[in-house]
Chain A
Amino acid sequence: MSALRVDVGKAGGQDHSEVRESDYWPLDTAGSSPGDASAQVSDIDAPTLITLPRRGGGRAWSVLVGGLGLLLVAMVAVAQAGPWTALFCLGVVGAITIAGTEQAAEARVVVFAVCVGLTAVDYLSWRFGVINWSQWYVALPLFLAELFAAWHTVGLHFTIWPRVQTTPQSTADPTVLPVFVLIPTVDEGPAVLEPTIRAALAARAAYLQVHPHACVEVVVCNDGLVAGAPSTFGVAALAQQLGVRCITRSTPGGAKAGNLEHARQLLGAVGDSLVVIFDADQVADPEFLCRTIPHFADRRIGWVQTGQYYRNLDNPVARWANDQQSLFYSVLCPGKSRQNAAFICGTNVVIRARALDEIGGLPTDSVTEDFAASIRLHSRWRSVFLPGRLAEGLGPLDLDGYFRQQSRWARGTLGVLGRHWRDLVLPRRGGLSVSQRLQYAIASTHYLCGIRDLIFLLAPMVFVFTGLTGVRGATLSLFLWHFVPYLLASQLAFWHVAHRRTSLRGILIGFLSFPTLIVAAVAAVRRKRSGFVVTPKQSSSGRGWRPLAPHLLALVVTLVALVTAVGAWSTAVLLPTVWLAVMGAMLVSGPYLFLTSWQLHRGRHARPRLAGLRLCGRYVTNWQLNRGRHARPRLAGLRLRGRYVTTAAAAVGVIILASHLAEVFTLPTVSSAAAYDGRMRVGVALPNELLDQGAAQFTGATGLEASVVGRSEEIREAFDVRWAEQLTRQHGRIWINLSFARDGSVTLDSSLRAVANGVHDRDLQRWARAIRQYGQPVYLTVLQHSDRDWSASSGVANGGIPQDVTSAWLHIRSVFRAAGANNVVWLWAPADPANDAGYTPPASAIDGVVVTMLEYPRQRWVDPDARLAGVAAAHPGKPLFVEVAAAGSPKKKAAWLDSVAAAAEQRSDVAALVYHEGGPAARPTARDLRIWSVASDGRSLEAVRRTWSSLFSQKGGS
């Protein structure tokens, strides 16, 4: 890379007065075509220049490109592909970009920028479609605020896009130009001013050492007299002491611009001379002049701006403000410079006096005279921004000072926007270029972000308190589908460029200024004039917490809204709640910053803490340098803690793994041999209505301890572990009738084929695992009464055939077996077990047979003896589980219950005798519960007490 060609030798010894006027006249930019210039790189600002060739192009090319750009935007907006747009950018654009460039940072910027732009289009196009026009007074401001935010997000990436830097044309020797270093001051006082003057003198000395023929004069522009500042005479004395000229103004007017113009005219700093401006607190780097002035070798350069950084970073407010400033000076300004849109920032700048002459000097009608001057000059003059710290100043010392500074900049910038909007919007021959217009539009609208932040703050509150919403027809998933890619892309892209240049502190302090910015915006709209307020260089703390009053109020309302939202929790308030929480957290930063600033100001707790921090910093530095000396004990501790954490994590992992393994390998404690152990059990089958108290009522009424309790459940339900374990504690066994109906209704899924073909396998596996885990014997009935058409899983109806019963039965058993649930006693329960030959599963697959005898009133009741004999004959060797219930006259019922007991007494294969409460109905009525109850009448109850007790005492029942 070649250095800027400044032929010092040729100009050496040449007096600046001999320089021809035409040598420094700006070129007619309209006549030149800088875009055609081949790419060359200057060492001057190597970090910012990109060596990209630039294509020339005519109007047709511009139209084509514009058309394709619009096509792209339209496609994204129409497709509304959400994350796919982001993935497209990261995939295709990323691939092509990386393949086409050797500079990684450049490639990343391009990919992120495209990603941000397209995801923003995607989100906003979707967002536009869901605007709630019926409540437009809420919806429209919110949408406009989002649009505004997107405008600045995309604008940032438009600014930093890698571009061709126009090659400087070295056509003259700038060192022959007289240089006037102006230091305007009002009331900063000698203490602040002295280092500034000394630094300016040092810069002059360094410059003269390189260019001995040059002429540099340092001048203090003292406005203290007109401002009535007590330090004005001290300033004059200081200037005299340091040997610099001091111009004290006696006629007020024009604030800082007036002061500078007064000095400029007095000094004759006009025409072919350079004016350097340092605010009173800006301490220049000795290299300042050496770095900036060579750029004026190009006669088109009107000014060279450098960054503005703070040096009092031990002050929290200054530190936070510095982070905010850094984003502008370290990220944005280099980008603006590449578009010839770096504007004058009022200090740390070198301006060609002729440029100022053109517009009659610095504008005195604006509090941001720098910005106003730039916008008027930029159509004819070029600008350069030099990155790096070439001067350092004092940042605001407290929030009050910071807010005042922001207010002044906001009023000035918005005022300029009000006066110069035509220059930005309307076409004008020889006016600003498109890029410059965009850059000025971005810069001048920046201070409207206070209104944006207010809307963002109010929108969720309005929704929570009133239900008014700006969005209609948007689901949460759709919102996330479109917003998350945009959010992620913009955040990643932002922090990619802002990493180590700014911080969250910069974002937060920017947000905190929203009340100030709103006031400034209102003042700008009302065209209310305001005086130039110098940012205080000493902490006043006079107003205390009062500048934070709006923030505290907003915080309180936010907290109330949060509580309200949580109180009325629903999916609809999820997003507002999250957003409120974010806003609340940002608002908290205000009091936090105030407290830390106040703490420092008070100087009580701050010092030991700062001292501690310093000590800590020193320690860390030592550790870095001597890694291993100081660090070892700490590292050892860390390692120890690390091992402890690892061990603990491993232990937890082992416990979790062990519990899982235990579940996998736990075998049931009881095998299916427990179907019948020679003892007859007595019990009760309960409808859901009697589930809680039924067993106790049975015991209380009959005096028999229920050693088996049955219930019906559907396959979609869960195994009731609590109920089962409760019965186990009472030495009872559970008997479950598992149905494939859904809410008592027969569906296609209930069919035997559905069961056999595995439709319910997942539920069956769940049941099997739960029963295996339970570990105690479980009597299980499935496919009850499948030989009848009323059954949910029928072998004679709903497409079922008798052969399907066996298929389904075996399938269910195989699922349980595969799950290791061997503690199930499989009870085959047809409606007519004595005549079920066409339906019954293989004998080996049945552990017991259920004999159901439910006797209705006014019907002929079955003979228990004959029935049991018939079933036993049909299923030889299988234990019988007798389930009975009757509703009829007390006499008949008592006699029949006696006969049941007698029949069971005669047999040795009856494993259980269970009374079925509630009758046959799936959902028994109160009447059913009453008439079908074992305690429906005294005679029946007495029969049960007498004969069943006798039976169980003989058969070994409990």
Chain B
Amino acid sequence: VTPIASSPSMPGWDLTSWAARSRGAWLLLTRRLPILAVLGLQSLLSLRLVNTAFQDEALYIYAGHRQISHLVHGTPLYDNYSSYFSGAPGLYPMVAGWLDGLGGLALVRSFSLLCMLAATLTVYWLTDRWFGGGGIYAAALFAVAGPVVFLGHLATFDAPALALLAAAAALATQSARRSWWALIGIAPVLVLAVYTKYAAALFVPSVLAVLAVETQRRHGWRAVAARVSIVAAVTATCTVAVLWLSSDALRQGIVATTLEREVLLGTSRVGLARTVAEYAGLLLILAGAGLVLVSRRRPILALLLLMTGVLAPINHLRLGEATSLHKHLAFGFVFLAPLAAVAVGRLLGGTFKSSGPQLLAGLALIAAIFYSGLGQAQQLYATWPDSHDLVHLLRTQVRPITGRYLVEEPEVPRYYLRQLVEPYQWSSTYWLQYEKDGRLLTGVDAYRAAIADRHFDLIVLRYGPTAALDTQIDGPLRAQKGYELIARLPTRTAFGTGYYSVWRRR
């Protein structure tokens, strides 16, 4: 009924081609803009987190500096990083140290962000491949999850290991489409992921299972047997080869941080379950719903993803340890997010062509993850004290070469003051060996003897992780015997307010 009015033509304008171009540009934009928007938001969420270096960040970056210096100048290391690092010291720490030299901690953390963005992109891609769409939902769910946002601004092994693991899963998926280069790439990437962070080995079977499921779907069981066995064999060979070539310390380190891991901070099973529910509960529920929704179409894959998603929580429940649980949950999110996206996608009608109420429902779910993620990431980032004031104070006191400093968690000031203080000048409240009257003392006795001898120029206690020891050795300090209290610096963490007490030798 309505006549279509013809557009008035203007001199110099070819409306047809302009419209075509404009439509083409819009289509291009609609393809790229959504994921770019999610990545942009993820970046902002991660970059807004502000704090000084975390103990682990400081430890790894410092180790990187020392190793680079050792390689280039032959500077002694004074430490055997391999024996206690949870990843190969020659991989990520070296990269982190190099980046820190270029642009400081901000650049190292940006590298983590880059890795997490890559992981988000991979999740996006994987979901589209596995379920024929919904990648944007998966990317959004993954990107705003608290642990993911947190890892995006944490300069540790986790972000690159996670990105490599996701890349391995992507290669496994792609290889099922007759992509030989992808098949060849799986094993090296997996080995790299495992050596970047040993805990990534937990997810290697899942990646192989993904390879099996995707291959079976297209090429049958015979291809599965061939490809999986090849990739598994190459992965195992590479891993063993690296182990064989590396030092005993590395082997000990791998065993000590994985198979024979000593629980540092024991937590009850109930407490752990509560933590899992807090960080991953909603995503697990959505993934469960997704499992039901795709149970007919892709039951094995869905089950595999869900099982992989709960691997880390189960492992932590088995160990009864909460340390790094949130970080390991993020590894599982790579596999949970695609399943959860199926549920969200179904709610939103597959595409966004649903009415307001559906949008509201889907939006509420994503917003719940977003807001909880927003708070969780902030809270996780506030679990360690801002060391700015302490480092500033130490900078006014430390003396190169000759000074001796006992500091609770010395990794952080050691990293910030690396240009001024040598590694051997620092002592921590975790372990000390002190010789007195020909006897080699350790533990509380060692600390007491050293303090009595005014061995340390400075003593910094926070009454944090080693509060039990601190209260046993601070008697002479509080009595101002040989030491004077020069500052009490307030610190505020997610757990409350505390103080750095700084004593200086009289």
Q: Which residues of A contact B (CB under 8 A)?
A: 3-4, 43-46, 52-55, 57, 61-62, 64-65, 68-69, 71-72, 75-76, 78-79, 81, 84, 87-88, 90-102, 104, 107, 110, 114, 118, 161, 163-164, 290-291, 294, 624-627, 748-749, 751, 753-754, 757-759, 799, 801, 804
Q: Is B450 an interface residue (CB 8 A)?
A: no
Residue B371 contacts which of A43, A81, A749, A804 (CB distance < 8 angstroms)? A81
- Contacting pair A753 B359 (CB below 8 A): no
Those 3 A-B pairs whose CB atoms lie nearest each other, nearest first: A100-B352, A91-B41, A754-B396
The interface residues of chain A lying within 8 Å CB-to-CB of B393 are 748
- Contacting pair B355 A164 (CB below 8 A): yes
Query: Can you list 19 residue pairs at the A/B interface with Cβ under 8 Å?
Result: A44-B2, A65-B360, A65-B361, A68-B365, A69-B357, A75-B371, A78-B371, A81-B374, A92-B140, A92-B144, A94-B33, A95-B33, A98-B29, A100-B353, A104-B30, A749-B396, A754-B396, A757-B396, A759-B392
- Contacting pair B364 A71 (CB below 8 A): yes
The interface residues of chain B lying within 8 Å CB-to-CB of A44 are 1-2
- Contacting pair B11 A625 (CB below 8 A): yes
Give Cα A164–Cα B349 distance, bound, in whole angstroms: 15
Residue A95 contacts which of B26, B35, B395, B417 (CB distance < 8 angstroms)? B35
Give Cα A3–Cα B348 distance, bound, in whole angstroms: 30
Give Cα A65–Cα B359 distance, bound, in whole angstroms: 9
Q: Is B496 an interface residue (CB 8 A)?
A: no
Name B's interface SS: helix
The interface residues of chain A lying within 8 Å CB-to-CB of B364 are 68-69, 71-72, 75
The interface residues of chain A lying within 8 Å CB-to-CB of B352 are 96-97, 99-101, 107, 110
Interface residues of B in 326-358 (CB under 8 A from A): 348-349, 351-358
Known A-B contacts A55-B354, A758-B395; the reply to A624 vs B367 at CB < 8 A is: no
Give Cα A738–Cα B464 distance, bound, in whole angstroms: 40
Give Cα A71–Cα B282 distance, bound, in whole angstroms: 14
Extra contacts, 5 of them, besides A72-B367, A92-B366, A96-B140 (Cβ < 8 A), are: A78-B371, A98-B30, A100-B136, A110-B352, A114-B363
Q: Is B383 an interface residue (CB 8 A)?
A: no
The interface residues of chain A lying within 8 Å CB-to-CB of B396 are 748-749, 751, 753-754, 757, 759
Q: Which residues of B contact A (CB under 8 A)?
A: 1-2, 10-12, 26, 29-30, 33-38, 40-41, 44-45, 136-137, 139-140, 143-144, 348-349, 351-368, 370-371, 374-375, 392-393, 395-399, 417, 420, 457, 486-487, 504-505
The interface residues of chain B lying within 8 Å CB-to-CB of A104 are 26, 30
Known A-B contacts A55-B349, A624-B10; the reply to A748 vs B363 at CB < 8 A is: no
The interface residues of chain B lying within 8 Å CB-to-CB of A98 are 29-30, 33-34, 37
Known A-B contacts A96-B137, A104-B26, A753-B398; the reply to A91 vs B38 at CB < 8 A is: yes
Which chain A residue lies CB-closest to B135?
A99
Shortest Cβ gap from A797 to chain B (Å): 10
- Contacting pair A96 B374 (CB below 8 A): no
Give Cα A104–Cα B25 distance, bound, in whole angstroms: 12
Which chain A residue lies CB-closest to B352?
A100
Known A-B contacts A44-B2, A759-B392; the reply to A55 vs B355 at CB < 8 A is: yes
Residue B34 contacts which of A43, A72, A99 (CB distance < 8 angstroms)? A99
- Contacting pair A4 B1 (CB below 8 A): yes
Shortest Cβ gap from A767 to chain B (Å): 19
Which chain A residue lies CB-closest to B487?
A748
Shortest Cβ gap from B1 to chain A (Å): 5
Give Cα A43–Cα B361 distance, bound, in whole angstroms: 32
- Contacting pair B353 A101 (CB below 8 A): yes
- Contacting pair A754 B355 (CB below 8 A): no
The interface residues of chain A lying within 8 Å CB-to-CB of B361 are 64-65, 68-69
Give Cα A53–Cα B350 distance, bound, in whole angstroms: 12
- Contacting pair B44 A96 (CB below 8 A): no
Which chain A residue lies CB-closest to B40?
A91
The interface residues of chain A lying within 8 Å CB-to-CB of B360 are 65, 68-69, 72
Shortest Cβ gap from A925 to chain B (Å): 31
Give Cα A198–Cα B144 distance, bound, in whole angstroms: 64
- Contacting pair B395 A759 (CB below 8 A): yes
Give Cα A622–Cα B367 distance, bound, in whole angstroms: 54
Name A's interface SS: helix
Central interface residue in A4, A62, A98, A759, by most chain B CB within 10 Å: A98
Give Cα A759–Cα B363 distance, bound, in whole angstroms: 50
Known A-B contacts A72-B360, A757-B395, A759-B395; the reply to A53 vs B365 at CB < 8 A is: no
Shortest Cβ gap from A8 to chain B (Å): 12
- Contacting pair B397 A92 (CB below 8 A): no
Give Cα A96–Cα B139 distance, bound, in whole angstroms: 10
The interface residues of chain A lying within 8 Å CB-to-CB of B29 are 98
Give Cα A107–Cα B417 distance, bound, in whole angstroms: 52
Give Cα A753–Cα B38 distance, bound, in whole angstroms: 48
Which chain B residue lies CB-closest to A626?
B11
Give Cα A97–Cα B367 distance, bound, in whole angstroms: 14
The interface residues of chain B lying within 8 Å CB-to-CB of A55 are 349, 354-355, 358
- Contacting pair B44 A43 (CB below 8 A): no
The interface residues of chain A lying within 8 Å CB-to-CB of B392 are 759
Known A-B contacts A3-B1, A84-B374, A99-B30; the reply to A93 vs B363 at CB < 8 A is: yes
Give Cα A857–Cα B353 distance, bound, in whole angstroms: 96
Shortest Cβ gap from B130 to chain A (Å): 17
- Contacting pair B349 A163 (CB below 8 A): no
Shortest Cβ gap from B28 to chain A (Å): 12
Shortest Cβ gap from B422 to chain A (Å): 14
Give Cα A754–Cα B139 distance, bound, in whole angstroms: 48
Shortest Cβ gap from A285 to chain B (Å): 13
- Contacting pair A94 B34 (CB below 8 A): yes
- Contacting pair B370 A92 (CB below 8 A): yes
Which chain A residue lies CB-closest to B358?
A55
Shortest Cβ gap from A114 to chain B (Å): 7
Which chain B residue lies CB-closest to A760?
B396
- Contacting pair B363 A52 (CB below 8 A): no
Give Cα A163–Cα B505 distance, bound, in whole angstroms: 75
- Contacting pair A100 B348 (CB below 8 A): yes
Known A-B contacts A753-B399, A759-B396; the reply to A53 vs B349 at CB < 8 A is: yes
The interface residues of chain A lying within 8 Å CB-to-CB of B140 are 92, 95-96
Shortest Cβ gap from A438 to chain B (Å): 12
- Contacting pair A96 B136 (CB below 8 A): yes
Central interface residue in A46, A749, A753, by most chain B CB within 10 Å: A753
Give Cα A422–Cα B371 distance, bound, in whole angstroms: 38
- Contacting pair B41 A71 (CB below 8 A): no
Shortest Cβ gap from A244 to chain B (Å): 27
Which chain A residue lies CB-closest to B395?
A757
- Contacting pair A757 B398 (CB below 8 A): yes
The interface residues of chain A lying within 8 Å CB-to-CB of B348 are 96, 100
The interface residues of chain A lying within 8 Å CB-to-CB of B395 are 753-754, 757-759
The interface residues of chain B lying within 8 Å CB-to-CB of A100 are 136, 348-349, 351-353
Residue B38 contacts which of A45, A92, A759 (CB distance < 8 angstroms)? A92
Which chain B residue lies CB-closest to A52?
B353
Which chain B residue lies CB-closest to A84?
B374
The interface residues of chain B lying within 8 Å CB-to-CB of A53 are 349, 353-354
Give Cα A896–Cα B178 distance, bound, in whole angstroms: 102
The interface residues of chain A lying within 8 Å CB-to-CB of B353 are 52-53, 100-101
Shortest Cβ gap from B353 to chain A (Å): 5
The interface residues of chain A lying within 8 Å CB-to-CB of B362 are 96
The interface residues of chain A lying within 8 Å CB-to-CB of B26 are 104
Give Cα A624–Cα B13 distance, bound, in whole angstroms: 12
The interface residues of chain A lying within 8 Å CB-to-CB of B40 are 91
The interface residues of chain B lying within 8 Å CB-to-CB of A102 are 30
Shortest Cβ gap from A509 to chain B (Å): 30
Shortest Cβ gap from B491 to chain A (Å): 17
Give Cα A754–Cα B37 distance, bound, in whole angstroms: 46
Which chain B residue lies CB-closest to A114?
B363
- Contacting pair B397 A161 (CB below 8 A): no
The interface residues of chain A lying within 8 Å CB-to-CB of B370 are 88, 92
Shortest Cβ gap from A424 to chain B (Å): 20
Central interface residue in A92, A100, A104, by most chain B CB within 10 Å: A92
The interface residues of chain B lying within 8 Å CB-to-CB of A164 are 355
Shortest Cβ gap from B423 to chain A (Å): 17
